[in-house]
Structure 1
């Protein structure tokens, strides 16, 4: 039987740990890590920087995640779980909405909150870029994306727009692009940009399937 690489083992251990309910201290450290990435990029993510940001004694972060790879894997799982929780809650609200206009408003509210509290989005973008060079991170993010596509596909089916997973995946990719563009827009212009983009996207995705 082949042995797991140290990085793969660290990622698996981090994934197992994060799957359980987080202790207050782990959540404090991972929240601090989000802010470190938002301010300094992924290159600034060190155990010492996380400890400083969390206001904890040096060595606190490394006591939970011994290597930087383990910390990155745990943070990836944390970001994915937080975003999926938001999307699951959005799904619950959307299924109770009558009309596409209300659904767009609910999605807009979530996107605006994400953009106002940008740490999750920035961390996800940084980790996604890192995953293009790191097979273990890529596995974690692919699993996360598959879950997002599944959620969106279920929403489309419930709305009578069952066009299969290909269209749902395209919609998830489009949302990613809108959020990235939203980060680049001035704060005062974000709502108008998001409303316009979501309405256009909703109209386009509700059209006949081109396959």
Structure 2
């Protein structure tokens, strides 16, 4: 049985709460469950086992599977957004050239690829969102924020192409990350550098919207 002293439970998919160490532990465990078993394996019991916590720990925070999925989607998306936001801040402060921008993006992508569970959880949740309106709304909001940040990076690099170009670039990056995830780790940097350079060239030659 859940500990009666546990925090108040919410079944609302979009409810937010301070990310306590226990919540973080459970969400990290949920990422590993998805990476190993797919989204179908994401259950409260599986998360508890992976976290090494008593049964009922996960459901004390997120009673329904939908609430758990929404919490994990926010956790994963916020982690990615934080990294991209930090990259944007560095780019805006340094006024870098295109090569520096590409290099920084490649380094960030390699960092994400080393966090296999993070990327797989994001991919699985994105697919699930195509069948879940609430989850889709949450991820669409996070994606809009990501597009805005990427647009800022483009502007800092002197590539003011408009929001549509930033959105297309984010979609392209998704594909590049997925392809890189399937490659041997030793080949990833070269693949990312070449792919990012090609995307940059395509953007430079594209007409301004």
**TM superposition score normalised by structure 1:** 0.90
Match of residue 54, structure 1, among 41, 51, 56: 51
2:188 corresponds to which residue?
190
Q: 5 Å matches for 1:54-203?
A: 54-95=51-92, 96-203=94-201
Deviation at 1:208, TM superposition (A): 4.1
1:12 corresponds to which residue?
14
Taking the aligned partners of 1:80 and 1:152, their CA distance within structure 2 comes to 14
1:83-133 deviation digits (Å, cap 9, x = unpaired): 100111111222225321111111111100111111111101000000000
Taking the aligned partners of 2:156 and 2:101, their CA distance within structure 1 comes to 13
Taking the aligned partners of 1:113 and 1:152, their CA distance within structure 2 comes to 17
Taking the aligned partners of 1:69 and 1:60, their CA distance within structure 2 comes to 16
Deviation at 1:170, TM superposition (A): 0.4
1:125-170 deviation digits (Å, cap 9, x = unpaired): 0000000000000000000110011111122223332221111100
1:40 corresponds to which residue?
37
Q: How many residues align?
A: 198
Taking the aligned partners of 2:194 and 2:184, their CA distance within structure 1 comes to 15
Taking the aligned partners of 2:161 and 2:82, their CA distance within structure 1 comes to 25
Deviation at 1:69, TM superposition (A): 0.6
1:5 corresponds to which residue?
none
| Partner SS, residue 162 of structure 1 | coil
